[in-house]
Amino acid sequence: MERETADQLEALHPDAFGWALHCCGGDHSRAEDVLQNAYLKAASDRVVHSGASSFKTWWFGVIRLTAHEEFRRLRYRESLLGKLLAQFTGDAHDPRPSAAQKIDLDEQTLRMREALAQLPARQAEVMHLVFYQDLSISEAATLMKISLGSARQHYERGKARLRTLLQTSSPVFAHES
């Protein structure tokens, strides 16, 4: 890591900790871990400021993504721990849906796929990226190589069209919107 980068990071440390604290929902120990991991990324040159944005914006983005990674890791560990405890305590239940639930899920999935197929290509693509791939609209726009405004418009129009299609095709979806 260059000395200039280290100096900028040092100057931003109080603000960075406040941002990490916000990203971690006020949990001080998690915020400390997240900030430490972000610093490790910077020190090992796994993240490098390219100059496309201000240094502070870039650094806060690194912290936000690191917090998100840590949250996902924590959630994954908790789910594994829960499964392990359930096995030892004998409380394990079959996570698979019953036959009736499976039929319902299959019908809903089929309706959703049919509705998505009726959308224009860009609307369907942005909806898929946001809902199935868990991307933000901004990330979807970057991936699709379109402007953020265009992606937002495709997203909003796609949601409205899906809502209409699903309400007219199924009373089950009409109550869920």
CA angle, corner 20, sides to 15 and 26, nearest 5? 110
Q: Which CATH class is domain 99-171?
A: mainly alpha
Percentage, residues of the chain above pLDDT 90: 29
Q: Where, residue-wise, is CATH 1.10.1740 in the chain? A: 3-89
CA dist., res. 164 & res. 56, Å (int): 43
Better-scored residue on pLDDT, 140 or 10 = 10
Of 16, 73, 19, 18, nearest in space to 39 by CA: 16
pLDDT greater than 50 at residue 176: no
On whether the CB atoms of residues 131 and 115 are closer than 8 A, the answer is no
Residue 3: half-sphere exposure toward Cβ, Cα within 13 Å: 0
Give the pLDDT band of residue 63 (cuts 50, 70, 90): very high
Of 157, 161, 154, 159, nearest in space to 122 by CA: 154
**CATH T-level topology, domain 3-89:** Rna Polymerase Sigma Factor; Chain: A (1.10.1740)
DSSP 2-28: -HHHHHHHHHHHHHHHHHHHHHTTT-H
User: For residue range 65-93, what is the model confidence (pLDDT) as tens digits?
Assistant: 999 998 888 777 767 666 666 666 655 55
Instruction: Tell me the Ramachandran region of residue 26: left when phi exceeds 0, alpha when psi lies from -120 to 50, beta otherwise.
Output: left
Per-position b or e across 72-82, b if 16+ CB within 10 A of its CB: eeeeeeeeeee
Give the pLDDT band of residue 174 (cuts 50, 70, 90): very low
Q: Where, residue-wise, is CATH 1.10.10.10 in the chain? A: 99-171
pLDDT at 172: 46
On whether the CB atoms of residues 9 and 47 are closer than 8 A, the answer is no
Tokens of 135: 């991307």
What's the predicted TM-score (pTM) here? 0.47
